[in-house]
Structure 1
Amino acid sequence: MASAAADYSDEPLTPAGRLFVQPQMNQIIHCAVGFKNPINIDSIKSHLKSSLLLSHPRFSSLMVRDSQGLEHWRKIPQVDLDLDRHVIVVPNPIITASHFDHDTAVNDYLADLSTSSGLSAEKPMWEVHLLMAHNCAIFRIHHALGDGVSLMSLFLASCRGAEDEEKMPTLASGKRNRVNGEKGWWALLIGFVGMLWFSLIFVVEFVLRCLWVCDRKTEISGGDGVELWPRKLATARFRLQDMKLVKKAVPNATINDVLFGVISSGLSRYLDHRTTNALPEGLQITGIAMVNLREQPGLQELSDLMKSNSGSSWGNKFGMLLLPIYYHKRSGTDPLAYLKIAKVMIDRKKRSLEAYFSYKIGYFVMTYLGAKLAAWLNYRIVCNTSFTISNILGPQEEIILGGNPITYLRVNSSSLPHALTMHMISYAERADMQILVAKDIIPDPAFLAKCFEEALLDMKEAAAAINRT
């Protein structure tokens, strides 16, 4: 990282931002944007120059360290921003055995980026890689600049609707169902007691996970040092209409409930295929999920995110949840049982303060006990669990960027000690989940993706049968 003495114009990194520049937790977000038409390099550069991205101070600031080693953002004049250092053109097809398959070629490139040396602090910490042969742009943005909600809002503010180029993209509402819709003091008392009880249980579990409690080793387990292992990447594709049909089969279920049911069912299928020694029925496999903690649910308006004093302010504002799934043998299991179990578990998590606790304790440790301890605790909780999952709401309709229609949006990040990380984003009634794996542990991510896709289709058939009766 660059080193310099902070001056009056420098702005300190937030505690969460400081966490993401520590060597153990150094994270870069990769957003792959597929285009319908060939990429025009000059058009992309021109669009970047006039976009909100470059008007945001984080994207024209260097990360520097002062004499005490504390990180700061140092603004540089926009005229000094050299786009040629940020826009990287890859003119030829990516060298791979399957380079005629555009999706596979792009995923191979992203897998290599996930274990690369990262972004240089000698320039603002973002890049755009243009894969010319595959009509794909890959935005590489350091996590210290912002979380998924912030960055998605900024990206979509630079896009327009495909059918009406004067119209901003519309986003799903992200409304959260009430777990208990009853009113009255008795219902409020029960809800308050439930919140305290579940918060106590989950917070204690969270602390124990940071220290020593660990998942049993399975065929998908990672661990200390696995973040350095080579990666493979595959894409699981879902229709949002299918997920909506499934959620209607279970009262008050959400898309997130369906997603977690699909993951539970898909991993059980995969472990049935890969495991040589029988796993115990009901074995817990614990995942980590990131939860947006801004006051408004879902994606925020960019104008709110840009206000430093706003409750929806820009940056990294998310908590962490431990989300357990349970292995079940595939034979004789009702496909919707995975959804029902997931819904009960997630409803309890929503009633607790686990996500807020994880954010506040992380803020406290980073601020008062130091970045090294905070990074160590976060690293330990990743080592002691089995996978990472995130889900971001995207635009409901097709959109264009710089006059070029977008065919897909996909997101993943640089590698973690987990051997399995999954990031899903919705776009125009579709949802793509990027499955990043340590290839020496999970050599067949395309098969794992198929397990997830088939799990949703089985749930859809079961839901359709219920609707017919």
Structure 2
Amino acid sequence: MKDYEPLSGVDAAWLRMDEPTNLMTITSVLVLEDPMDLATLREIVAERFVGFTRFRQRIRPSSSGVQWELDPHFDLTQHVRRSALPGDAGKHELQEHVSELMSMPLDRNKPLWDLELIEDYAGGSAVIARIHHCIADGIALVQVLLSLTDEYFDPSRFPKAKSGSRLPSLIRAPLNAAKKAADAASVLINEGAHSIVDPSRITHRAKQGLSLGAALSKLALIGADSDTRIKGNLGVAQNAAWSGPIDLEVVKETGRAIDAKVNDVLLGAVAGALRHYLEQHGDPTDGISIRGMIPVNLRPIEDAFDLGNRFGLVYVDLPVGLGDRTERVLSVKQQMDEIKASSEAAAAFGILEVLGYFPNELEEQAVRLFSSKASAVLTNVPGPRKILHMKGHRLQHIMPWVPRAGNIGLGISIFSYAGEVRLGIACDNGLIPDPGTILEGFEEEFDQIVESFGENRGDTAPSTTPPENEPADDSEGMT
């Protein structure tokens, strides 16, 4: 990779979408079962993370716009720091701290990422990662974060160093040792990283121009969704929260009862959770539809380590106004099936690429136009099914949050890992001061879906568990 290179149009678009009320930062929490010290985390990052050149580059203006350049003052210690939680240092305190960090912009004078270690958390430790969206999309960043683990790390994925360029000594020594000792762990890289849409098929369809015109028309002409309390003026303060674990196999079995995918079942439960939230606040729900904007991966998973953004956006109407939970799941399933057969994601990617070259004012107007058609951003990323470790420290669970653009105040993230699924909420504090109510509604709704479909599950054929290193057929997710 060159020391200097321009941002792609779509990466520049995400950089310029940064606003104080909606920062384009992807925040993730990695919870470790055992305590980890700062020196160990810095050693892991030096060995396994900053070998990706992008994490040693900063943003600089150029005659053609903005470009990446190697930071001549790069200092790993400025990006990997320790922190402590107040009081009981439990889940509530961690959620409060993550909420505060979501309101803090990254320093644009340095590479746009940082890691914060909570050394004492729930008997172990927690790592909070913040990485700007212009560096990469969710699929790519999840794969890079997983490279911090013993099972996923493979230095051969690092871009080849430019002739004459030198890595900082703090990075070079452990990297050389790692290359000598590296085991080909690439067998894991495909695990759980399926897209909701097969990238090769959608790219082929887009090149042929099939339904692209219709997709663009739909994106342009779609109206706004229902006016509810989760839409409104945004503030700076954010809220972050996440649910307890849900058994992934139960989700799969439930979906099989009505020929639905994991994603259909979970988004159906999200629709029920939002219905529950409105009811708890005494708001009407009949006929209400809350539209979600969904990122869709458009890259083969083997290209994830090239970083950058390669995804489009589609809209899905969450049928909050339907009183029957089976109908809610089936409504989501029908929409997702239609999306998989369309070119909507590819069309949206083309729009994002063009926006990156627009004047700022025109881009802002376009972003606000498209974000005004939705009330939430939804993402579902299937993670590994194996337990992972960082220098022998067991990784207990992972929770990434999707950022929101424009005037969207609610982000809902679903992530599966080691046979468990968790739901994460990131939202504007003024619009949704009580995200825990949505999480409670989600857990209750899912339990009721399982109970409702229980009789049908008993009539389905037993599932065939795929080999450990192969993703399940129905574990499709969004970027």
TM-score by length of 2: 0.79
SS in 2 for 1:140: strand
Contact 2:25–2:403 (Cα < 8 Å) also in 1: yes
Deviation at 1:203, TM superposition (A): 3.1
Do structure 1's residue 63 and structure 2's residue 73 form an aligned pair? no
> In the TM superposition, what is the alpha-carbon distance from 1:268 to its structure 2 partner?
1.5
Match of 2:131 in 1: 141
Amino acid at match of 2:57: S
For residues 71 and 50 of structure 1, the distance between their equivalents in structure 2, rounded to whole angstroms, comes to 29
Q: CA 1:173–1:83 in 2, change beyond 3 Å: closer, same or farther?
A: closer
The correspondence for 1:376, drawn from 328, 349, 365, is 365
Q: For residues 84-109 of structure 1, what are the alpha-carbon distances to aligned partners after superposition, in whole Å with 9 as ceiling and x for unaligned?
A: 1111211x323xxxx42622211111
- Say which of 442, 446, 455 aligns to 2:445: 455
Match of 1:206 in 2: 219
The offset of 1:403, in angstroms, is 2.2
The alpha-carbon distance between structure 1 residues 402 and 391, as it changes in their structure 2 partners (threshold 3 A), is same
Of 117, 123, 126, the residue aligned with 2:113 is: 126
Residue 287 of structure 1 is matched in structure 2 by 292
CA offset at residue 176 of structure 1?
A: 6.1
Alignment RMSD: 2.7
1:185 alignment counterpart: none
Q: Which amino acid aligns with 1:172?
A: G
Given that 1:115 and 1:414 are in contact with CA atoms closer than 8 Å, whether structure 2 keeps it comes out as: no
Q: Following the alignment from structure 1 to structure 2, what is the Cα–Cα distance between the partners of residues 17 and 388?
A: 18
Q: Deviation of residue 129 (structure 1)?
A: 0.8
- Between 1:351-360 and 1:380-389, the stretch displaced more is 380-389
CA distance in 2, matches of 1:81, 1:177: 38
| Corresponding residue for residue 47 of structure 1 | 44
Contact 1:34 1:407 in 2 (8 A): yes
> Within the alignment, does 1:172 sit opposite 2:169 as a pair?
no
Q: How does 1:10-409 map to 2 (within 5 A)?
A: 10-22=4-16, 23-24=18-19, 26-51=23-48, 53-67=49-63, 70-76=65-71, 80-90=73-83, 92-94=84-86, 99-100=87-88, 102-116=90-104, 118-134=105-121, 135-161=125-151, 168=185, 169=188, 171-172=191-192, 174=194, 202-209=215-222, 213-223=223-233, 226=234, 228-237=235-244, 238-251=246-259, 253-276=260-283, 278-279=284-285, 281-294=286-299, 296=300, 300-301=301-302, 304-306=303-305, 313-328=306-321, 330=323, 333=324, 335-367=325-357, 369-409=358-398
Q: Which structure 1 residue ranges, 5 or more long, are not aligned?
A: 1-7, 179-190, 307-312
Shift of 1:200: 5.5
Deviation at 1:329, TM superposition (A): 5.8
- What is the distance in 1 between the residues matched to 2:236 and 2:282? 21
Distance 1:453 1:11 in 2: 46
Tell me if the contact between 2:112 and 2:132 (Cα under 8 Å) persists in the aligned partners: yes
- In percent, how many aligned pairs have the same letter? 21
Find the aligned partners of 2:438 and 2:366 in 1 and give their Cα distance: 30
The code of the aligned residue for 2:52 comes to H
**TM-score, normalization: structure 1?**
0.81
Q: What is the match of residue 186 of structure 1?
A: none
Going from structure 1 to structure 2, the CA distance change for 1:230 and 1:318 (only over 3 Å counts) comes to same
Residue by residue over 1:56-110, the C-alpha shift from the partner in whole angstroms, topping out at 9 and shown as x without a partner, is 1101111100245x11001246xx53111111211x323xxxx426222111111
Q: d(CA) in 2 for partners of 1:359 and 1:415?
A: 16
Give 1:374 shift.
2.6
Give the letter aligned to residue 428 of structure 2.
Answer: A
Report the secondary structure of 1:20's partner residue. helix
The one-character-per-residue Cα deviations of 1:200-241 (angstroms, maximum 9, x if unpaired) are: 6553231135xxx32232122234xx1x34222221232212
Contact 1:231 1:438 in 2 (8 A): yes
Counterpart CA distance in 1 for 2:195 and 2:28 is 25
1:425 correspondence with 2:445: no
Do the aligned partners of 1:63 and 1:73 also contact (CA within 8 Å) in 2?
A: yes
| Number of residue equivalences | 410
Contact 1:222 1:386 in 2 (8 A): no
The residue aligned with 2:168 is none
